[in-house]
Structure 1
Amino acid sequence: MSTTPAIDSFQTGFALRPDLLVEAADPAGVRAAVRDAAARGLSVAVHATGHGLPGPVEGGVLISTRRMDGVEIDPERRTARIGAGTTWEAVVAAAAPHGLAPLNGSSPGVGAVSYTLGGGLGILAREFGYAADHVRSLDVVTADGVLRHVTPDEEPDLFWGLRGGGHRLGVVTGLEIGLVAVDRLFGGALAFDGDAAPEVLLRYLEWTRTVPDTCTSSPSAMRYPDLPQVPEALRGRYVVSVRVAYTGTAAEGEALVAPLRAIGPAFSDSLREMPYTESHTIHSDPPFPHAYYGEGLMLGGLDAGTAARVLELTGPGAPMMTVVQLNHLGGALAVPPAHDSAVPHRDAGFLLRLLSPLDGTDVAAVRALYARVAEETAPYALGRALNFSFGGGDRTDGFHGAGTRERLAGLVSRYDPASLFGGAYGISRDAR
């Protein structure tokens, strides 16, 4: 097996050991790889950046799309054409000179295509909805080796299923997405000592009932590891942060976050007006590869008491380091798009995200902790988030409702009857 850089992955917790690695430079290369795999009776998986691997890849054909990283901006139509290996960093940089922005996530190094196919919950999500809602067209190689151009009018069933259904229906080689007229925002983070975490969550939940849809936010609680790559002031410290992105004016933003600042003294305050090209600093996600396990729980609501119990389970006394993040949903996320999609759980009020480093950590122990968190939040549970479930490839429950599952299964029977793309989660999806 080749060990070229194309098989490197941001997620280092799961091995990639395909029988054959194909570095596709264009859709023709993807077509050839899919046809060859089908002729040999081998499964197909897809890999770009490796952020969201659902588990290890053993055997079969692994198609690397890393070289398919082109971006073309049409400023008049406010669209971008992006290749399968493109990261959000490249799309943001290409759109910015035109005063435009994509609906990217918090990490600039994440692959834009798979992020979007899984729904795409971005830093401006409450104002503009899921990234999948802004897809204009897709180019996909299906199991028969045919490159299909998919729009609401051409292949409408695929257009529905690919947006929110992941890679189970084929290898997407490129997307055309709509951009939004945003070139700056008010945002950043307030960081408090972890001892104040229950109070911060209580006040935050109260605050979310008052904010406009133009405000997207998420608190996060974690005990930082004592590692050289972590800023010295944070090493070994339990911290709760509230991150905010708001597209109103700076003066309006200052008034909006005043209740958060009133919670108490913050040891770090980065809230400011910034160009959109600096939006990745709001979350400052780690840029270095590492091993992790994660889960995303879609909740209809959340009360302060339940939030406090989740913090108690996952805080400094937890058996392993766990990052807890609560994304405030609603707003445009709850509005069905003009063209229906397979994106589920639009009635969710919050997304509860759990992530634990795996280096030296027992996966069974992580799963046991997450199960306890799921029990605490069960009264609010609606399902699970495909884009934020890392490592649990043997579990498919909760990703979609029964009707969507049945419709997706029908599309699989139609477009991939031999289950060429079958894999973890039943979706051999490009690692985000």
Structure 2
Amino acid sequence: MTDDLASRVAGPVLHPGDDGYADELAGFDLAVSQRPAVVVGATGAADVIAAVRYARDAGLAVGVQATGHGITVPADDALLITTRRADAVRVDPSDGTAWVDAGAIWSRVLHEAAPFGLAPLAGSAPAVGAVSYTLGGGIGVLGRRWGFSADHVHRLDVVTADGVPRRVTAQDHPDLFWALRGGGGNVGVVTGMQVGLVELAEVYGGGLFFAGEDAGVVLPAVVAACRDAPDEVSLSVAMVSFPDRPAAGPLRGRWSCWVRVTSSGTPARCEEVIAPVRAAATPFLDTVRTMPVTDLGTIHNDPVTPTATNSHSLTLRRVDADTVTALLRHARPDTPFVIEVRQLGGALGRPPAVPNAVGHRGAVATLYVTAYPHPTGPSASDGAAERALLADLAPWSDGGALVNFLAGAHVSTDDVRAAYEPDLWDRLVEIKTTWDPRNVFRINHNVPPVRQDAGVTPPSPARPASGSPR
């Protein structure tokens, strides 16, 4: 049967033991190992359609992997579609949009948009897949001014669980359009998306690196700066121990309180905002500068070398001096994970022009902890230390999370559910039950459908008229 699939797919079709199988599975996050029954290296929408139809007929679950960031569920005994070959990006400066294929990464979109003085709402790590990032909501360093990446989607091309390709917009299948923008890949495989761009050629930003021992004075200064910051300025702070290796340069072996700064406004206004932070202590390294928007990724400088990560998220409804005190109880040079607090608010807290499934817009900040291998050796963390930190910060939380910041085998349905308020979750479940009642798309941050054996018969999704892609 897979011979028939191979005849309908332009890319490779691989099985366990085949040459190239392991390489095709390779991605950034190594925390979750997986062994799919079949891997399809999709070159475009036609390959995705063929793969989903094959999985439908064979009774296989379907997973999708672009760069391999944020894996939570192994695609064991499933069909895994890899999309990195489908990486075309087309910018239309006449209407300020870009068409982004399923496997394109943000750095590619930044590069293609820059000659026109335009930029996408990319994430802090431009090596991440643009589509998967956006389906999870997408909170980037420009978000306080312009909102979530999901807020700027104009169109999605989707293959649903029945193997039908559909054009999805606010007018065409509005339920799918709502659910896909923030609800992840729970109701289909996105083969491409049209996103709005913003007019931006340069940003003012970088890092202020303080000794970790200075966090007690730096963090309160950051909290105060965030209260008065205009939407054009975004701040975050990370407590991190850098490896004792020559490649780390001036950061080598340093336990650091790292303040990240991004501004899409004037340097002078940004400097007014961060002046109290600069005055709190003396940074041992200052990289804040004017840079082309294509260098956006240097602000957070996220890792690009494949590694095992386990990440947790907690949205905070307020941050004050007591929050800082609680956080500092867990921040030490030997803490086996990175602690980041990222400022939200601004446009991230306002409803988009077209509603979507992104949750917890009322949060003022997000706590993100991720256990990379510790500089002194492989991380010994079993998650208990991270859970203790989250529990200590619970009084300042709304109980939520951001789904893009949940990664690793520990992520449960309850963790995913926490990323959505109850009304959003209930609507996601309803749409999932309509479009994917058998949970074909479950290799993800899964929203399970209503169980059919519970006596509920989901309605059938409307099929497009003959010849219509909708």
Q: Quick check: TM above 0.5?
A: yes
- 1:352 paired residue number: 367
- Cα distance in 2 for partners of 1:201, 1:366 equals 27
- 2:304 paired residue number: 287
Matched, 1:82 2:100: yes
- 1:70 paired residue number: 88
SS where residue 313 of structure 1 aligns?
A: coil
**Within-5 A mapping of 1:22-421:** 22-231=40-249, 233-318=250-335, 321-357=336-372, 360-362=378-380, 365-382=381-398, 383-391=400-408, 392-397=410-415, 398-421=418-441
- Cα distance in 1 for partners of 2:34, 2:315 equals 29
SS where residue 389 of structure 2 aligns?
A: helix
Q: Is the 8 A contact 2:206 2:298 kept in 1?
A: yes
- Cα distance in 2 for partners of 1:228, 1:267 equals 17
Matched letter for residue 328 of structure 1: Q
What is the aligned length? 423
Q: Is the alpha carbon distance of 1:274 and 1:360 closer, same or farther for their aligned partners in structure 2, counting shifts above 3 Å?
A: closer
Q: Is the 8 A contact 1:314 1:322 kept in 2?
A: no
After the TM superposition, which of the residue ranges 365-374 and 339-348 deviates more from structure 2? 365-374
Give me the TM-score of the superposition, normalised by structure 2: 0.87
- Cα distance in 2 for partners of 1:327, 1:127 equals 14
Matched letter for residue 405 of structure 1: W
Identity %: 41
Q: Is the 8 A contact 2:225 2:273 kept in 1?
A: no
Residue 41 of structure 1: CA displacement? Answer: 0.7
String of CA shifts for 1:204-257, please: whole Å, max 9, x gaps: 1011111111111101111122345433x3232210111111112223333332
Matched, 1:8 2:26: yes
Residue 317 of structure 1: CA displacement? Answer: 4.3
Q: Is the 8 A contact 1:163 1:342 kept in 2?
A: yes
- 2:457 paired residue number: none
- Cα distance in 1 for partners of 2:358, 2:104 equals 22
Q: Is the 8 A contact 1:201 1:308 kept in 2?
A: no
Q: Is the 8 A contact 2:74 2:443 kept in 1?
A: no
- 2:35 paired residue number: 17
- 1:422 paired residue number: 442
- Cα distance in 2 for partners of 1:427, 1:222 equals 33
- Cα distance in 1 for partners of 2:414, 2:53 equals 27
Q: Which ranges of structure 2 fall in alignment gaps of 5 or more residues?
A: 1-15, 449-470
- Cα distance in 2 for partners of 1:207, 1:244 equals 11
Q: Is the 8 A contact 1:47 1:62 kept in 2?
A: yes
Residue 393 of structure 1: CA displacement? Answer: 3.0
Residue 297 of structure 1: CA displacement? Answer: 0.7
CA RMSD of aligned residues (A): 1.6
* Rg larger in structure: 2
Residue 424 of structure 1: CA displacement? Answer: 4.7
String of CA shifts for 1:11-35, please: whole Å, max 9, x gaps: 1121121000001111111011011
Q: Is the alpha carbon distance of 1:427 and 1:9 closer, same or farther for their aligned partners in structure 2, counting shifts above 3 Å?
A: farther
- Cα distance in 1 for partners of 2:345, 2:51 equals 41
Matched letter for residue 422 of structure 2: A
SS where residue 371 of structure 2 aligns?
A: strand
- Cα distance in 1 for partners of 2:419, 2:175 equals 19
**Structure 1 residue runs of 4 or more that deviate by more than 4 Å after TM superposition:** none
Q: Is the alpha carbon distance of 1:141 and 1:422 closer, same or farther for their aligned partners in structure 2, counting shifts above 3 Å?
A: same
Residue 273 of structure 1: CA displacement? Answer: 1.2
- Cα distance in 2 for partners of 1:174, 1:110 equals 15
Q: Which ranges of structure 1 fall in alignment gaps of 5 or more residues?
A: none
Residue 307 of structure 1: CA displacement? Answer: 2.1
- Cα distance in 1 for partners of 2:372, 2:81 equals 27
Residue 373 of structure 1: CA displacement? Answer: 1.1
Matched letter for residue 437 of structure 2: P
Residue 395 of structure 1: CA displacement? Answer: 3.8
- Cα distance in 2 for partners of 1:133, 1:117 equals 10
- Cα distance in 2 for partners of 1:230, 1:55 equals 32
